[in-house]
């Protein structure tokens, strides 16, 4: 709308100038015609000094005509230049609008922040060739902004991997902020004072989702000052995409995670266990499972209250997540029962890992000033089970064996019975 209004104002100005030039030219031509006719007529009716005066007047009229023609020609050339400039500006504005519409359309298909950064990078390089850029997005705890991607940065400017919101004037004010390489300029604490940059907060639905940083590749302020309007349009468009990505991630997390402990829920566990079991059989590898149950948890809730029980569950989940590998999966199986899936892990390694978990959980007793312990059942595909369902069943049976033996211990499922191979038929000689 702003661009359209500017174009309408320019069109009205241009039409007014054309009218004035047209009228001026018409009146000048009429006046020259009248003066020329008068000069010619006087040459026939006057003699001597009068005839000389008439000829001089005619000469003056001719000179004036030449000057007026020169002025009109100059104005026409100036009008043509101005018209071409207006057409170029109009075409560029139209092209910029088309690029922004394309950005909006493409961002609707972005599934991750990196996807959004790739789209923004492509459009920014076309719309703002004189500027480098960087995209920062808030982390889950919203205590810092992490760098998603950067592009076309000048050699003097190396974007930081993370930014603190308290050090950024753009985020504090909720407005664009220009960092100039001058001692008297107000700059953010993370600003590198050799290259001019503009920082644009990315707001959507009343919240800030990220920060767009544009730097001047020439080091001065000319490019970033010209880029402010386009930078705001890019930030507004991308912020909606970041908002949608964040919302989808929240919904996905809610569907896969237990809200209290933050562990994966049973639905995700069943899908992951089946996937790992299939991979273990295909690669002839072992995938282990550790079933965990907190001992006397109902008595703990009855004696100390459900708030204490929830706090214990959260701390147990934290201890388990801290012990496992990034490829392992910790799930809340139900109630106070937990399950740890250990891909590419033998039964012996899983037993050692379970013993470490038991010691960590036992140590929580001192922190919470109450008796905390857990029983463990260990099983593995290829050694004590063949399928995902058998893995759950055998690890659960081993857990019950640990309970029966006195709790606070680790028990391993018995090895799976191997059927003897069928004898091969040998053809008679």
- The per-residue pLDDT for 423 is 38
- 167 and 132 assigned to the same domain: yes
Order across the sheet with 337-342: list the strands. Answer: 329-334, 337-342, 287-294, 374-381, 410-412
**8 Å CB contact between 374 and 398:** no
**Secondary-structure percent of the chain, ordered helix, strand, coil, rounded to 5:** 55, 15, 25
- Three-state SS for 151? strand
Q: Is residue 248 part of a domain?
A: yes
- 127 and 61 assigned to the same domain: no
Q: Which of 208, 233, 254 is the last residue of a domain?
A: 254
- 220 and 307 assigned to the same domain: no
Q: Which of 219, 254, 289 is the last residue of a domain?
A: 254
At 336, which CATH number? 3.30.70.270
Q: Is residue 141 part of a domain?
A: yes
Q: Is residue 272 part of a domain?
A: yes
Number of domains in the chain: 3
**8 Å CB contact between 209 and 243:** yes
- The per-residue pLDDT for 259 is 87
User: Max Cα separation, the chain?
Assistant: 151
For 160, other C-beta atoms within 10 Å of its C-beta total 15
Q: Which domain holds residue 341?
A: 266-412
Task: Please list the pLDDT of the chain residue by residue as tens digits (429 residues).
Answer: 444 455 455 555 555 666 666 566 656 666 665 666 566 555 555 555 566 666 666 666 666 666 776 776 777 777 778 778 877 777 777 877 888 888 888 888 888 999 999 999 998 888 888 888 999 999 888 889 999 999 988 887 888 899 988 889 999 888 888 888 777 788 888 887 678 888 999 998 888 999 999 888 775 666 777 778 888 888 988 998 999 998 888 888 778 888 899 899 998 899 899 999 988 888 888 999 999 999 999 999 989 999 999 999 999 999 999 999 999 999 999 889 999 999 999 999 999 999 999 999 999 999 998 999 999 999 999 889 989 999 999 999 999 999 999 999 999 999 876 543 333 333 333
- The per-residue pLDDT for 42 is 59
- 74 and 26 assigned to the same domain: yes
Q: Is residue 295 part of a domain?
A: yes
Both tokens of residue 402? 């640990």
- The per-residue pLDDT for 424 is 39
- 239 and 168 assigned to the same domain: yes
- The per-residue pLDDT for 420 is 36
Q: Which of 64, 88, 106 is the last residue of a domain?
A: 106
Both tokens of residue 74? 């100059």
**8 Å CB contact between 281 and 342:** no
- 125 and 238 assigned to the same domain: yes
Distance in angstroms (rounded) separating the CA atoms of residues 64 and 58: 10
**In which element (H, E) is residue 331 found?**
strand 329-334
- 323 and 383 assigned to the same domain: yes
Q: Is residue 75 part of a domain?
A: yes
- 102 and 123 assigned to the same domain: no
- 85 and 139 assigned to the same domain: no
**8 Å CB contact between 208 and 138:** yes
Distance in angstroms (rounded) separating the CA atoms of residues 195 and 351: 57
At 120, which CATH number? 3.30.450.40
Distance in angstroms (rounded) separating the CA atoms of residues 202 and 212: 7
- 287 and 401 assigned to the same domain: yes
**8 Å CB contact between 365 and 372:** yes
Distance in angstroms (rounded) separating the CA atoms of residues 140 and 265: 20
- 387 and 282 assigned to the same domain: yes
The reported pTM is 0.59
The residue to which tokens 């009429």 are assigned:
30
Q: Is residue 427 part of a domain?
A: no
Q: Is residue 124 part of a domain?
A: yes
- 80 and 121 assigned to the same domain: no
Q: Is residue 418 part of a domain?
A: no
């Amino acid at each position: 709308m702003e661009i359209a209004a500017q174009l309408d104002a320019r069109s009205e100005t241009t039409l007014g100038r054309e009218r004035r030039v047209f009228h001026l030219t018409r009146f000048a031509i009429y006046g020259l015609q009248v003066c020329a006719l008068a000069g010619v007529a006087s040459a026939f009716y006057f003699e001597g000094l009068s005839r000389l005066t008439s000829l001089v007047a005619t000469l003056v009229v001719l000179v004036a005509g030449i000057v007026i023609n020169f002025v009109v020609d100059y104005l026409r050339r100036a009008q043509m230049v101005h018209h071409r400039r207006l057409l170029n500006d109009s075409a560029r504005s139209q092209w910029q609008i088309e690029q922004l519409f394309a950005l909006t359309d493409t961002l609707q298909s972005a599934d991750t922040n990196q996807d959004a950064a790739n789209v923004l990078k492509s459009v920014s390089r076309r719309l703002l060739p004189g500027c480098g850029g960087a995209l920062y997005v808030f982390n889950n705890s919203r205590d810092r902004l992490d760098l998603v991607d950067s592009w076309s940065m000048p050699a003097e400017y190396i974007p930081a991997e993370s930014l603190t919101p308290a050090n950024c004037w753009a985020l504090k004010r909720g407005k664009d902020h220009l960092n100039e390489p001058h001692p008297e300029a107000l700059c953010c604490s993370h600003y590198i004072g050799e290259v001019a940059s503009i920082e644009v907060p990315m707001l959507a639905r009343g919240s800030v989702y990220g920060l767009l940083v544009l730097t001047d590749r020439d080091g001065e302020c000319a490019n970033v000052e010209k880029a402010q309007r386009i930078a705001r349009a890019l930030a507004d468009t991308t912020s909606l995409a970041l908002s949608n990505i964040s919302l989808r991630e929240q919904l996905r997390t809610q569907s896969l995670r237990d809200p209290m402990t933050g562990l994966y829920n049973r639905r995700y566990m069943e899908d992951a266990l089946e996937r790992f079991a299939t991979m273990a059989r295909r690669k002839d590898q072992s995938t282990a499972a550790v079933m965990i149950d907190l001992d006397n948890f109902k008595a703990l809730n009855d004696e100390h209250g459900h708030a204490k029980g929830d706090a214990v569950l959260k701390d147990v989940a934290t201890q388990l997540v801290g012990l496992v590998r990034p490829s392992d999966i910790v799930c809340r199986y139900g109630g106070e029962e937990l399950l740890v899936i250990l891909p590419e892990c033998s039964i012996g390694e899983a037993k050692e890992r379970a013993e470490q978990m038991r010691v960590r959980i036992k140590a929580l007793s001192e922190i919470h000033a109450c008796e905390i312990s857990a029983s463990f059942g260990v099983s593995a595909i290829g050694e004590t089970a063949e399928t995902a369902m058998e893995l759950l069943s055998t690890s659960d049976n081993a857990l019950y064996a640990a309970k029966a033996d006195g709790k606070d211990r680790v028990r391993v499922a018995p090895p799976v019975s191997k059927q003897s191979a069928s004898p091969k038929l040998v053809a008679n000689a």
